Amino acid sequence: MLMSTPPLSCLGAVAIELKPQSVAAVDALPATAAGDLAAALAGDLARVAPVAEGLDFALAAALFDPVELLRPGWPLHAELERLVARAPGAAGGRVIGFGADADGMPANLRPDPEHRFGPLRVLPWLLRGDADILATAGAELEQRLLDEGMAAAATALAVQDGFGAEVEHVRLLTLHDLAAMMAMQYEHAGLAPLWPLLEAALLAPADEEWLDAPPEPLLRYAGGAARIAMLDAEAWFAAGFAPADAEGDAARLERAFERFQMRERQFAAVLAAHGVLVTFDHCPVGKDPREILRV
């Protein structure tokens, strides 16, 4: 995945799958260990795309949840880009690992404790440098990294020892790869209807995207934010969001409406975790909720 503003950067993540029920002992490596891990990962990356050796490689050596990377504008990578641009030394082939000092990670590269217990942890990395070299490296990585990006055994051991983690797998991914992995996970979790809105927020933030598939909640993404139609029971039924086979069964309708409200809250929480602004728009009975969301 390439950033659109010069100097171009290829964005990626190190995906660390932890053993079930395990949690890493530390969330960030000290500076020296961060530099050593960055060098190991840069070597792993160069084995897949040798041309990448002519580019700067930068790593934030802190464990994040994927939702913290997959946010509009790629804020963690944008901060990594900013720090690399300020780093001393001639550009082209530098390997830079950003780790924690006595005060922790740099201010805008600190993992959110709220998300620290997920089974998949990710470290953001980027390649930066000459646009022509980067385009070649980026295309090769998009084509090959998902299949060939498993970290070397020594690199995986350094991750395991450094973070005090019980690790199943360590692999390098582009952000496109990570997004595709998350799309699959959301599908398995029953959240597939929401993914097109998230994808628009990440990859085409100026676009408009709807979730309009009753009995799912009604959502509209536009202008960088998501709006959810908030319906009371009467409006929900009148707008056609109730299951057709529940009509006339008051108990079933009540349960279905409760599930609808829970689904709204679930969708709002997922969007918010990805950094998408969410608002609820009250849609009274007799008003078309779709027209209200368009205003």
Distance CA 183, CA 91 (A): 35
Q: Which two tokens stand for residue 199?
A: 């994808």
Looking at the chain, the whole-number percentage of residues with pLDDT higher than 70 is: 97
pLDDT for position 92: 82
pLDDT for position 104: 92
Q: What are the backbone dihedrals phi and psi of residue 23, each rounded to the nearest 5 degrees, phi first?
A: -135, 140
Residue 101: CB atoms within 10 A of its CB come to: 10
- Of 94, 124, 128, 126, which Cα lies nearest the Cα of 110? 124
pLDDT for position 199: 96
Distance CA 103, CA 95 (A): 23
Average pLDDT of the chain?
93
Q: pLDDT by residue (tens digit) across 216-259? A: 999 999 999 999 999 999 999 999 898 877 776 788 899 999 99
pLDDT tier for residue 8 given thresholds of 50, 70 and 90:
low
pLDDT for position 250: 86
Minimum mean pLDDT range among 130-139, 246-255, 280-289 = 246-255
Residues 6+ apart with CB under 8 A from 37: 29, 59, 61, 97, 155, 158, 159, 162
State mean pLDDT over 190-202: 97
Q: pLDDT by residue (tens digit) across 150-168? A: 999 999 999 999 999 999 9
Q: pLDDT by residue (tens digit) across 34-87? A: 999 999 999 999 999 999 999 999 999 999 999 999 999 999 999 999 999 998
State mean pLDDT over 183-211: 96
pLDDT at 264 over 50: yes
Buried b (16+ CB within 10 A) or exposed e, 117-151: eeebbbbbbbbbbbeebbebbbebbbeebbeebeb
Residues 6+ apart with CB under 8 A from 242: 215, 236, 253, 256, 257
Distance CA 263, CA 215 (A): 10
State mean pLDDT over 179-191: 96
Secondary structure of 28-76 in HEC code, one letter for each residue: ECEHHHHHHHHHHHHHHHHHHCHHHHHCEEEEECECECHHHHCCCCCHH
pLDDT at 6 over 70: no
- Of 64, 57, 43, which Cα lies nearest the Cα of 11? 57
